[in-house]
Amino acid sequence: MSELSVRLRPVAEDDLVMFRRFATEPGLIGLDWTGFRDAQAPARRFAADGYLGTQDSRLLVEVEPDEVAAGFVSWALRDFGGPTKHWEIGIALLPEWRGRGIGWRAQAMLCDYLFRHTPFQRIQAGTHPENIAEQKSLVKAGFHLEGVVRACEFRDGRWCDGYLYSRLRDDPGPA
């Protein structure tokens, strides 16, 4: 299969259909499914700031040359209780676009974008012990495993551990 070309772009009104699907189709988003979400929330958020805010944001993951919307990446400000902030990123691709080399590229591109346009030192990402695709994607995008965060989320009827990864500004990115 030939290598797909990926780009990140601002969210457009047509993308809200996909966001509503992730909010209302059980399991479409993968292991991050935690029950139904407000289907009108994407339209409200888009009207407010186009999903580009100071605290959290999204960009669309688009596959060229046909400019097909494959999913989205997100980032949000986090801290460990003090004044210092860092970014936490996330990603969700539609099932038909998974396993084709888009996920790790999109997350590497998002790191480049955040390190270029914001002064933060640390970008972190959490994932699930059973999410091998995301674990491999993060490592390919230049992230390092920091450890296991025990019982950090209630999901699918039980408390689950998470894996925490980070990429620092000075860490080498993918070749």
Ligand X SMILES: CC(C)(COP(=O)(O)OP(=O)(O)OC[C@H]1O[C@@H](n2cnc3c(N)ncnc32)[C@H](O)[C@@H]1OP(=O)(O)O)[C@@H](O)C(=O)NCCC(=O)NCCS
Residue ranges in contact with ligand X by CB under 6 A: 29-32, 71, 91-93, 98-104, 127, 131-134, 136-137, 140
| AA identity, residue 130 | E
With beta carbons less than 8 A apart as the criterion, state whether 108 and 12 touch.
no
65 upstream amide cis, omega within 30 of 0: yes
Say which DSSP state 152 is in.
E
Q: How far is the CB of 128 from ligand X (least distance, A)?
A: 6
What residues pair up with 164 in beta bridges, in sequence order? 126, 147
Q: How many angstroms separate the Cα of 149 from the Cα of each of 22, 77, 86, 89, 114?
A: 25, 19, 17, 17, 25
The minimum distance between CB 83 and ligand X, in angstroms, equals 27
Output the smallest distance, CB 99 to ligand X, in A: 4
Please state the closest distance from residue 43 (CB atom) to ligand X, in A: 22
Taking the least distance from each CB to ligand X, the nearer of 81 and 172 is 172
Residue nearest to ligand X (CB): 103
